[in-house]
Amino acid sequence: MSTAWPLFALRVTTPRLTLRLPPEADLLPLAEQAAGRVVTPEQAGFMGPWTQIPSPEFERAFMQYHWAQRAHWSAERWSLDLGIYPAGHDAPVGAMSMVAGDFARMRSAETGSWLLPEWRGQGLGREAREAMLHLLFEGLGAREARSSAHPDNAPSHAVSRALGYRTDGTLPMPAGGDEPVTAIRLLLTREHWRRRTDVVLAGLEECKPLFGLPSGGR
């Protein structure tokens, strides 16, 4: 394990998948598979205009995004972008992200995710979200998790309802056209989080200072 960047050793494992930080060797193939396929043009509002960037600019922007999140990481503001690795597969098929500012005091983070189209409809999106919530609540001692979704993104809303999220207002978000859409804000508090007993965290203790937390505590 590298003591310089211990996040590479962080693992969140369920019976169906593992969330882990993708090495650079995994990022470029994922970018190439995702180009033009994250969502259809009609669904661009679900995740914003970045999904519609043409190749090869998409792949370049994808790599630059991941490099930037790692380069600009600080305990005061961080963005954890983990690859979704299905059980038995050595390559990621999507990403599960978590963003927070002043986490040590606020104990709040916002999550988001996407999957390659051939991996959708199998429950992996929900499994990945539950894994990230376990890291957030059980591993990092969060008070709440936040998310947002396009009002027409039925699968995302269904997962949120099933996991205990509650509607918490609206906010504007970038869409595929010139005008923003009104997204639905969602909130899951620690009180309503449904803890699973089959999620395993590994390599977290060494990472806690990067999240603004003392090692050995929450």
The answer to whether 14 and 203 are in contact (CB under 8 A) is no
Residue 60 has pLDDT above 60, yes or no: yes
> What's the CATH class of domain 6-144+198-211?
alpha beta
From CA 62, how far away is CA 8, in angstroms rounded?
A: 19
What integer pLDDT is reported at residue 125 of this predicted model? Answer: 95
Q: Which two tokens stand for residue 127?
A: 């499994």
9: pLDDT confidence band, cut at 50, 70 and 90? very high
- Which helix (H) or strand (E) segment holds residue 171: the answer is strand 166-173
- Highest mean pLDDT range out of 52-56, 86-90, 174-178? 86-90
Q: Domain limits of the chain?
A: 6-144+198-211
The residues pairing with 145 across neighbouring beta strands, listed in sequence order, are: 109, 188
Beta 108-115 vs 94-101: how paired, if at all? antiparallel
The residues pairing with 20 across neighbouring beta strands, listed in sequence order, are: 83
50: pLDDT confidence band, cut at 50, 70 and 90? confident
Q: Which two tokens stand for residue 19?
A: 């969330």
Q: What is the largest CA-CA distance in the chain?
A: 48
Residue 89 has pLDDT above 80, yes or no: yes
From CA 21, how far away is CA 155, in angstroms rounded?
A: 25
pTM beyond 0.85, yes or no: yes
Q: Which two tokens stand for residue 143?
A: 């008070």
Residue 218 has pLDDT above 70, yes or no: no
Beta 77-86 vs 108-115: how paired, if at all? unpaired
What integer pLDDT is reported at residue 44 of this predicted model? Answer: 63
